[in-house]
Amino acid sequence: MTRTLAFPAAAPEAAVEYFGAELGFEVDPDDLVQDLEAGRTDGYVVVETRAPEAFAHARIPGAINLPYRDMTAESTKHLDRDLVYVCYCESAVCNAATKGALKLAELGFKVKRLSGGITSWIAAGYPVEGDKAGGIRCAC
């Protein structure tokens, strides 16, 4: 038996359920940049969940900064609960976006996470705002 098939593949119905649910939790940089470049931003807000200094350094155009450490009912009361909040952080090895998405969900907001964070965004050649001096760092 191969290592690849040591565990049998799921039934197609289970795979539909699993992968469909996964797409409900994440968006990839390509889909997001296509929406942003086309001006299709109705229904969601991009949220940088790292510290303000990381936001000043490099951010996705149009993103707001809401550090996960500062998320409370009070700090989020101005947010529109009808929107989806697409959280991102430094990379796939930083979990600030996951922590931010969790906090927002606990506060009753609809959320998604950007796959790969701003590191993947930049690696794909997508536009970034900020001073960008010194490379990308977690800073969460």
* pLDDT at 66 > cutoff 90: yes
pLDDT at position 136, please?
Answer: 67
Average pLDDT over residues 26-47: 97
Instruction: Give start and end residues of each alpha helix (H) in the chain.
Output: 12-25, 29-38, 52-57, 96-106, 117-123
* pLDDT at 140 > cutoff 80: no
Tell me the residue type at 46: V
pLDDT at position 1, please?
Answer: 76
Average pLDDT over residues 13-26: 96
63 vs 87: CA distance, rounded Å: 9
Residues linked to residue 77 through DSSP beta bridges, in sequence order: none
Max mean pLDDT among 15-19, 88-92, 134-138 falls in 15-19
pTM here is: 0.91
